Amino acid sequence: MNTMPAAEEMIVLGKIVSVHGIRGEVKVYSFTDPLDNLLDYRRWTLKRGTEVRQAELVSGRVQGNVLVAKLKGLDDREVARTYADFEILVPRSELPELDDGEYYWSQLEGLKVIDLNGQLFGILDHMLETGANDVMVVKPCAGSLDDRERLLPYTDQCVQSVDLEAGEIRVDWDADF
């Protein structure tokens, strides 16, 4: 079956980066925290460009900063090599419910970032994990204050509110910084 549910119902949780060993296992970069949470999902939709495949996870383990995964029916190293660069998607409905005030990064991406004076900094393009705290990468857009890309900390001091319905994040941040 090479069909995929509607795009807005799927979320990328990882990416196959290469093969591992000779038995058809694949190395996976996980976007989950902790990284082995990806192993909680047994049915994966794999997507690379317009190509879509369905896969079933048989087993997996953490190895360093990646996962090594065994997929059902994938037993050959050369065939496994053809799985490189596929993103791993699961239905959003399978993700755990979050507490109030917690968000998945995918929910934040695309929101307008506005300071306390009502100035539009731009659109949250993506998030970065730095170790100390997550960082919002805000890119300029139509109507934004200027053409600067900004890196803002995703902290309680900076982020004052998130309004998914309005599509905006209010921040306490100096426009000149």
Portions of the chain given CATH number 2.30.30.240:
105-171
**% of residues, the chain, pLDDT over 70:** 95
pLDDT of residue 3: 55
Region of 106 (left: φ > 0; alpha: ψ -120 to 50; beta: rest) is alpha
9 SS3 class? helix
CATH fold for domain 7-93: Elongation Factor Tu (Ef-tu); domain 3 (2.40.30)
pTM of the model: 0.71
Q: Which of 7-11, 61-65, 133-137 has the lowest mean pLDDT?
A: 7-11
> Average pLDDT, stretch 24-30?
96
Reported as a pLDDT band with limits 50, 70 and 90, residue 2 is: low
pLDDT of residue 109: 92
More confidently predicted of 52 and 129:
52
Q: How far, CA to CA in Å, does 92 sit from each of 63, 66, 140, 153? A: 26, 23, 28, 26
pLDDT tens digits for range 70-99: 999 999 999 999 999 999 999 988 988 888
pLDDT tens digits for range 29-78: 998 888 899 999 999 999 999 999 999 999 999 999 999 999 999 999 99
Portions of the chain given CATH number 2.40.30.60:
7-93
Structure token digits, residue 67: 């996962």
Instruction: Output the average pLDDT for the chain.
Output: 92
Reported as a pLDDT band with limits 50, 70 and 90, residue 105 is: confident
**% of residues, the chain, pLDDT over 90:** 76
* 150-153 sheet: strands from edge to edge: 150-153, 134-139, 120-129, 112-115, 168-171, 159-163
pLDDT of residue 6: 52
Q: Tell which residue, 156, 152, 110, has the closest CA to residue 135.
A: 152
Q: What is the assigned CATH class of domain 105-171?
A: mainly beta
